[in-house]
Structures are given as structure tokens and as C-alpha cells.
Copies of this chain bind each other. A is one copy, B any other.
Amino acid sequence: MSVPFFEKHRATLERALTAIAERGYWSAYPESPSPRNYGEGAVEAGKAAFDALLDKPFDFGDSTAGMRVGAEQSPFGFALGISYPRSDIDQLLAAVGRAQVAWRAAGPQAWVGVCLETLHRINQQSALMAHAVMHTTGQAFMMAFQAGGPHAQDRGLEAVTYAWDEMRRIPGKALWEKPQGKSEPLRMEKHFRIVPRGVGLVIGCCTFPTWNGYTGLFADLATGNAVIVKPHPGAILPLAITVKIARDVLREAGFDPNVVTLVAHAPGDAIVQQLALRPEVKLIDFTGSTANGEWLEANARQAQVFTEKAGVNQIVLDSADDFKGAIRNIAFSLALYTGQMCTAPQNIYVPRGGIDTAEGHLSLDQVGEALAEGVRKLVGDPARAVEVLGAVQNDGVLQRIEGARALGPILLDSQSITHPQFPQATIRTPLIVRLDSAEREKYLHEWFGPIAFVVATDSTAQSLEIAEEAMRNHGGLTLSVYSQRPEVIDRAIEVAGNGGVALSINLTGGVFVNQSAAFSDFHGTGANPAANAALTDAAYVAGRFRVVQHRVHA
């Protein structure tokens, strides 16, 4: 069945190969939940499917015996009440080991075929996934649908495509014929086989379980590895649904479903550390805190470890043609999903002397006030605001808001909003605090959440200098610059190169610095401390398999 899956999706794969070669716009999975894309009543059916999962054991289609775990809380204010099997690590790895044998031998077309069919079926469940992502991460529905559904699926497909692109370039067979002057040439027939590394461990986060989880999951699977998915205890459901679909596809393709398994656990459980150090685990993909990421890098030395950790994202304000557009764009970036994004801007550097705009010179105070007013406008209407903000995922965000309020003069305080449909949800608007460039200890680390600093600098030159230093020493995923001066843009490009960070220039319209589009934007670079890999490039996939050859006289 697996090669038929490959053939079934070959056109998609071919198109995706063109996309990674060009890196212009392309998406395999429609981002709008409209009936035109997903059928009449798809969103409602997704809601019903989600409701049907609540308050019961999650059914993988296997036995549901044994101990169970799970205490997910919707950030919109209710307990999911879903329980998941609690795995014994030794038994799990033994089962994975058995499942691996036939899977490893199946070869690239089978691996990629299973991945493509799994992504296709996940796409069909996008409305269910939207509710699952919404009620674990706190994303508003539309964002949960897009970022948790089609955009995550695109990232998964992108990883499969890079994996296929690397594997297809290894010839299966070669005739080596070496001339020997007047004698007969030496002739060897050589066979090259793609050999997966072993077991991959994918460690999910609580804000983007699918978007950040699918790249590692599908990169591992597409290169023939077995995959153990270890979700964050606060966001198990989206990955449980994913794993269930993958297991269904594996079964249909004639493989042991234990090629893909889920390990759910209670918070504080040491199961991740145990798993990460197992000799069978050869690949680890992690999204989360710097402390945990660095622990994995230092200790899980038997594995290749891909990490996305904390960073400081920055905006350099120098001058603006369309200042209002800039403010609208930045305000949206600060508010989107309550700033709970690894790409959300935090530090906004503004020269003490203010900035030039098409409407004249603006003082530092005026810029700060404009930013505050921009956010106020955006979140002024609660019904609209909650669709941008979503809900606060966890108390850590609230604590950081409280802590940041004490750092300096508050330009805009964070407000609580009541969600019209979910009065129990914790909704918070962005906080903007003014700091001075000298107060580095305050702003040169990550304040994850809806927390922004307007940092007064001596000049744009200093802003860029600090930005580069921050990238080199603390890392970051995004840098944004607003300037009408070509020399500032050139210098920002240089800073981005030195700091290894993706740069957005003069964003004033419908593209936001937080957004990273599959098949076009490289998410992270691997060149600064925020991430040791990019999503997705050849380096992300090429080490997930090895080539083993045999040769014989021809």
C-alpha cells in the first residue's frame, strides 16, 4: 500500500520540489476553512468531533488498558478531561524496535508515501485539529485553524520534500569502471542503500504543538526512522490526533503502527530525560526553553539534537514613509496570540532624538504614544480583540507581565478582557514599557508573552549595534527594520547576516514579522543561539539517514 500512497501524491511532491527550489509562494493545503476548501459544515463537524473526544480515554484504535495520564485545560476555561495511555519506556522501546525492522527495510518511496498520505488525512481533519489546537494552546479559532492546520501541514510537507530531495540523489546502483591502460578495466557494481538513523524523539511545545512538531516528525518518518512523539502535558491532543492518523496509515500500508507512538506524561515527570538518553534514540527535535534545550544538547550525545530555544526578537525604528502602516503592523505583531510566539517582537529600538516620517519628525515620546495608541485601537473592541489575542496559555505569561511592569515607565499597561463566549478564559492585552539602552540586563533576554520594550538608543547605529550583539549572544528568530535610508537598510542586512537572523524590512501591510511561510521563509537559521537548525533546509534532513554501500565485481 505504501508505494501506491507515493504514486497517489506524486504530483503534490513534484510541485513541492519546485517550491523548495524557488521558495516563492506555494501552499499545498488551503488556509481558509471555507466550505469551498473543506466542504459544507466542516467547521461544525470538526467542533462535534472535538466535543466527542472530551471527557473520555483517547482511543488509538488499540487496547486502552493500563495506567492513563492527561489533565489538559483549555485556556478558554474548561478541562478537556481526556486521558492517554501512560507508556512504560522499556516496553515502548521494545515495541518500537520490533516495528522498526520492516519499516527500515521499506525504502524511501514507502516512507515518503506514508508521510504524504498521513499529511493528506491530517489536512482533512483540519477543523477538528483547529479546535484541538485552540483548546490546548489558547490560539483564537482562525489562527488555530491556520497555524495548527494547513500551515503546520505545509511545514510537514516541506520537511518530507527536503528529505525526498536528498534521498533521491543517492543512486541505488552504480557501475564503477576504472580504465587500466591496455588491460581490461576494473569493474565493480556498487549498491547504495539509505539506512535510517534509528528512533526519533519529537518533543512538542504547548503553543504550537503541530507547527513546531511536524517538521521533526515528518523529517524523521520520511527518512525511515521510527518516531516517538512526546507532547507537552498542556497540549497533548493535537499530537495525539496526529499520531492516531499516522498509525492508521501505517496499518493500512501493512506496517506495524508502533513506527509512530505517543508518550503522554504528567507535568514534572522525568520521562523526557529518560527517553532522551536511551541509546536507541538517535534524533531529537525539541522546541522549548533554553535550559531544557541546552540540557538535551549537552547530555543526549548519542543523538543528533535539533533545538529551537528562547531568543530576543527586535525591531529597529529609524524612519518611516508610512508611519501609520508601520504602527498598525507592529501593534498587530505584539497582540497576535498574546505575543506567545517565538517570532513575536519584544525590543523596539527608537533613537532618543526621535525619527523622521513622511508626516514630519516625531519625538521618542510621540513614537511611544503612537505604538500604545496603535495597540489600544486594535484591542479596543473585546469581541474583535479576542480573535487576535486568543487566551493566555499558562500562568508563566501572567507572571512575566507582572514582572515586566516593574521594569520602567509603562507606556501601555496590559488589560484583562472578558471573552464574549468564554468568560472563564484569561485574556490579556500587550504591555509596553519604556527602557533605556543602558538597561541591558532588563531587555536582553526573552520575556515570552505580550511584553514589548521601547528602548531609547543614542542613534540608529547604536540600535543596530545592540541588535547584532543581542542576536550573537542571546539569539533571536526575527529582526525588523523600518527605515527610508538605504545605508541603514544595508547595515541592517549586514547585522542580520552577522547575527544570523531573518530580517523583515518596512513591513506596513498584511505581512507580519511573526509570520514565517513554509516553502518560502526559512524559520530560524541555526546561526544564532535561538535555534541550531532552520525549518527547513538540507542540513535539517541530510543527517537523518546514512548511506551504506556494498560492492562486488561486475
Q: Could you say which of A71-79, A167-175, A348-356 contacts chain B? A: A167-175
Please provide the chain A residues from 171 to 197 with a CB less than 8 Å away from any CB of chain B in the complex.
171, 174-178, 180, 186, 188, 190-193, 195, 197
- Flag if A190 contacts B542 (CB, 8 Å): no
- Flag if B547 contacts A505 (CB, 8 Å): no
Q: Is the interface of A mostly helix, strand, loop or mixed?
A: mixed
CA distance in complex: A426, B527 (Å): 49
CA distance in complex: A506, B551 (Å): 9
- Among candidates B175, B192, B525, residue contacting A546 with C-beta atoms closer than 8 Å: B525
Please provide the chain A residues from 486 to 523 with a CB less than 8 Å away from any CB of chain B in the complex.
492-493, 496-497, 500-511, 517, 520-522
CB closest chain-B residue, reference A519: B176
> Shortest Cβ distance from A539 into chain B, in angstroms?
4
A residues contacting the other copy or chain, number (CB 8 A) = 64
CA distance in complex: A534, B175 (Å): 20
> Shortest Cβ distance from A326 into chain B, in angstroms?
12
- Flag if A549 contacts B503 (CB, 8 Å): yes
- Flag if B526 contacts A546 (CB, 8 Å): yes
State how many copies of this chain the complex holds.
2
- Among candidates B174, B527, B550, residue contacting A493 with C-beta atoms closer than 8 Å: B550
CA distance in complex: A507, B176 (Å): 14
Contacts of A502 in B (CB 8 A): 548-551
- Flag if B24 contacts A175 (CB, 8 Å): yes
Contacts of A538 in B (CB 8 A): 166, 169, 538, 542
CA distance in complex: A500, B198 (Å): 11
CB closest chain-B residue, reference A524: B546
A22 touches B (CB below 8 Å) = yes
A537 touches B (CB below 8 Å) = yes
- Contact bitstring A147-167, B, C-beta under 8 A = 1, else 0: 000000000000000000010
A420 touches B (CB below 8 Å) = no
Contacts of A191 in B (CB 8 A): 493
Contacts of A534 in B (CB 8 A): 546-547
Contacts of A505 in B (CB 8 A): 550-552
CB closest chain-B residue, reference A508: B553
A297 touches B (CB below 8 Å) = yes
> Shortest Cβ distance from A315 into chain B, in angstroms?
14
CA distance in complex: A467, B547 (Å): 19
CA distance in complex: A548, B497 (Å): 6
- Flag if A24 contacts B548 (CB, 8 Å): no
- Flag if A550 contacts B496 (CB, 8 Å): yes
- Flag if B510 contacts A180 (CB, 8 Å): yes
CB closest chain-B residue, reference A528: B546
20 cross-chain CB contacts under 8 A: A21-B171, A25-B177, A104-B497, A166-B538, A170-B537, A174-B520, A191-B493, A195-B525, A195-B527, A298-B301, A493-B550, A496-B548, A503-B550, A509-B553, A511-B551, A525-B547, A527-B548, A537-B542, A538-B538, A542-B542
11 extra interface residue pairs, beta carbon distance < 8 Å, beyond A193-B497, A503-B548: A22-B171, A24-B174, A24-B176, A25-B176, A298-B301, A496-B548, A496-B550, A504-B550, A525-B546, A537-B542, A543-B543
